Amino acid sequence: MRFDVITLFPELFAPFLTCGVTRRAYESGLVEVRLWNPRDFADGNYRRVDDRPFGGGPGMVMLAEPLTLCLESLRADRLACSVPSAPTVLFSPVGDVLNHAGVERWSASSSGAVLICGRYEGLDHRFIDTHVDLQISLGDFVLSGGEIAAMALLDAVARLQPGVLNDEGSHQMDSFNPALDGLLDCPHYTRPENWRGQPVPPVLMSGNHARIERWRREQRLALSQRQRPELVRAARRAGHLSKIDEAFLADLPKNPDLDA
């Protein structure tokens, strides 16, 4: 799949695309990323891409014309490379919040997307009305630009591609994954068995796999109930909670120790 990223700061992506386990997705071509700078399509000696907002107010607004010329150029390139057309995505506070289900949909898409990284006070809204198909948010906060949001989406999509992770099934145990009924994942431990007076929960050393799996299930339920109770409610509505799960949750206030 191919993602075209429109950004005023393409240099921010260089280390991101060459570091960490997800670099395998980019190096192998499973996820192709092309960077486009709207400044290359701006007029004048200064290649201006922004201007003051009509009506006054602080900050600057990105111009519609350089963005449009950049978008038209990348679309022509996709066509020349026989790459399917793709939705144009803007990272914006007004968009739907990205979640695991959304990431899975993007990871299964063969066409990828065009990702627009806004800056300053935002984009001329006429460009948004004309060209943007979808807006995505990472949450109720504001970043200085859309580049971090674009990297978050690319990273989440890349790690789900076959062969990217050392253990291809490891992402099945991620928080929010349907394999965990959408719950948060449980705590994890490694050597030494006793670290600065804190031992590993004894059940994990028991060798009893059934007990270990039940402990992990209860940890997921307890952590989700305390930190993200809406995830437990969603699992219940979907019929994913057993009678044993419900009995554990009912008794949870009496058993506050997650590591017991």
Residues taking part in catalysis: 93, 121, 159, 174
Q: What does the alpha-carbon distance between residue 208 and residue 135 come to, in Å, rounded to a whole number? A: 48
Q: Diameter of the chain by CA atoms?
A: 71
Which residue has 């004048």 as its token pair?
44
Q: What does the alpha-carbon distance between residue 42 and residue 126 come to, in Å, rounded to a whole number? A: 17
Q: What does the alpha-carbon distance between residue 36 and residue 42 come to, in Å, rounded to a whole number? A: 12
The phi and psi torsions of 192 (rounded to 5 degrees) equal -80, 165
Q: What does the alpha-carbon distance between residue 253 and residue 205 come to, in Å, rounded to a whole number? A: 26
The phi and psi torsions of 255 (rounded to 5 degrees) equal -130, 75
Give burial (CB, 10 Å; 0-12/13-18/19+) of 74. Answer: buried
Q: What does the alpha-carbon distance between residue 102 and residue 222 come to, in Å, rounded to a whole number? A: 25
Query: What value, to the nearest 5°, has the Cα angle with vertex 248 and ends 247 and 249?
Result: 90
Burial readout 238-254 (b: 16 or more C-beta within 10 A, e: otherwise):
eeebeeebeebbeeeee
Q: What does the alpha-carbon distance between residue 39 and residue 48 come to, in Å, rounded to a whole number? A: 7
